[in-house]
Every structure is written in C-alpha cells, then in structure tokens.
Amino acid sequence: MGRRKKKRRRFKAFMRLFFVLALLVGAGALAVTKVFTVEKVEIVGSEYYQDESISNWLLDDEYSWNSLYVFFKYKFVEPKEMPFVDNMEISLKSPHVLQVHVYEKVLLGRVYIKALGQNAYFDKDGFVVEMSSDVIKKIPQVTGLDVDQIVLYEKLPIKEKHVLKNLLSVTQILKKFELVPNSVRYNGENGFTLKYGDIMVVMGEADSLNDKITRLAHIMPKLEGKKGTLHLEGWTENTTDITFETSG
C-alpha cells in the first residue's frame, strides 16, 4: 500500500508540473502571436530609398507580421541584396517596433552608359560599385569622360590617370561641403564645370579646390533664383576675381 501511495503522489506531482509547463508554453505562444506584432518599422541611415521601400524589402514573407520572427530571421539569414545598400542591421526596439540601420554604399558619382541603358556608380577610389538603370538624385552624373568599357567592381577605365584623380578630388570635396551638383562635366584641359539647376559653375583646373569650393559655399546662397554662369576658373591666391554672368 505504501508503494501505491508514493506512486500516486508522484503521478499527481508530475501532472501538476505538466500542467504548469503546458500553461507556460501556452502563455508564451500567446505572447509571441499576440504581443510581438509589427506595428512600426524605424529606418535609420537611408538616403537613397524611402522608408516604405526598405520595410517592404525586409518584410517579405507570410510570417513577417511577427516582430520576434523577423528579428531572429535576420540574425541567421542575410537580407536580400539591395542596390546601393552595403548592409542592414535589424534590432527589436520593442515588441511592436523594429529598427533597421541601413549602411549605404558611399557613392560619389555616376556615368551613364547609353549602349546598356545603365548608370555606373563609383566610389571614392574610382571603383564601380553598382550598375543600375535607377537614377539616384543626390549622386551627380559625370559627363565628358573618355571611357571605353566599364566593368562592375573595377576602376573607371579613364586613360589619363590625373583626370580620375582630379575627378575624385572634386566630387569628394563637394560632398564634404554638402555642395553636390546635378552634374559634373569634364572639359578636357579646361577642367570641370558643375551644374546646379540654372546655375553653371566653371571650376577650371583642379587646383586650389578647397579654396574655390569654400568660396562657392558662400556664394551659392546669394544666387538662389538666378540663372547664369559663375566663373571660378581664373581664381588663384593672387588673382581673386570671381564673376557671375547672368543669362535668360
């Protein structure tokens, strides 16, 4: 009889433990399905894409309504490759809020390849890091270059090395001063010309760039609403004349 009583007590204890565990599992499952729902996706660091585009890119399957699922999914699986994006990190800010840190490729300019209908986007070292038919407005188009065949992940095939060096200097300094133009045209020995809407800026040869662009930063706000050409090509430390030729 003593053994039977012990077995019954053990069985009752086991059943209590079983029901407690079942309740915990059920509560956990209910929390996962009812509490961890995606109500908001915060995008940080994206300049090239709208937030909605990034969200739709990531929440791409039938279970993406669940924030915990999305968080763990991208812990083990890399997001699909997205043009102009180097990497994305997804974190769980709260049960209802996902936060996405977007690390975009650093692009300085694009060269349009008419035969392919593609834009070749290059970085600070002159390497082509993206080929796309998409046009990113904040990236200037570069024209006037003598390029034969552009290959992804290779340097821009510009025969004259000093031209590429000067182009990279011009585009980097303009980006630094937040003076990115609509386009940059290489004019051979006459250097570079920038276009800002109805304003043309003749930079000339790539010397004294920092000084020229420093002055350009002070002048551009004063030219708002005007049409014409700003001449900086003749500026030197000794000859500081800057003229603006109106048009239209």
Q: Which of 85, 104, 123 is the last residue of a domain?
A: 104
Q: What is the pLDDT of residues 82-112, one digit of tens each?
A: 889 999 999 999 989 999 999 999 999 999 9
Report the CATH number that the domain containing residue 59 is assigned in CATH: 3.10.20
Q: What pLDDT is stored for residue 10 in this prediction? A: 56
Same domain? For 123 and 97 the reply is no
Does one domain contain both 98 and 119? Answer: no
Which domain range does residue 240 map to?
109-246
The DSSP 8-state label assigned to residue 158 in this structure reads: B
**In a shared domain, residues 89 and 163:** no
Considering the domain architecture, whether residues 144 and 90 belong to the same structural domain is answered as no
Average pLDDT for 104-127: 93
Q: Is residue 16 part of a domain?
A: no
When pLDDT is averaged across residues 202-221 and rounded to a whole number, the result is: 89
Same domain, residue pair 54 and 152: no
Domain identity same for 213 and 170: yes
Residue 172's domain is classified under what CATH number?
3.40.50
The rounded distance, in Å, linking the Cα atoms of 230 and 202 is 6
237 or 96: whose pLDDT is higher?
96
Number of domains in the chain: 2
Same domain, 116 and 51: no
Whether residue 50 is found in the same domain as residue 149: no
Percent of the chain with pLDDT over 90: 51
Q: Which long-range contacts (CB under 8 A, 24 or more apart) does 183-188 make?
A: 183/140, 183/141, 183/142, 183/143, 184/109, 184/140, 184/141, 184/142, 184/143, 185/142, 185/143, 185/144, 186/142, 186/143, 186/144, 186/145, 187/144, 188/144
What is the per-residue pLDDT across 162-211, written as a single tens digit (0 to 9) for each? 899 999 999 999 999 999 999 999 988 778 999 999 999 999 887 788 88
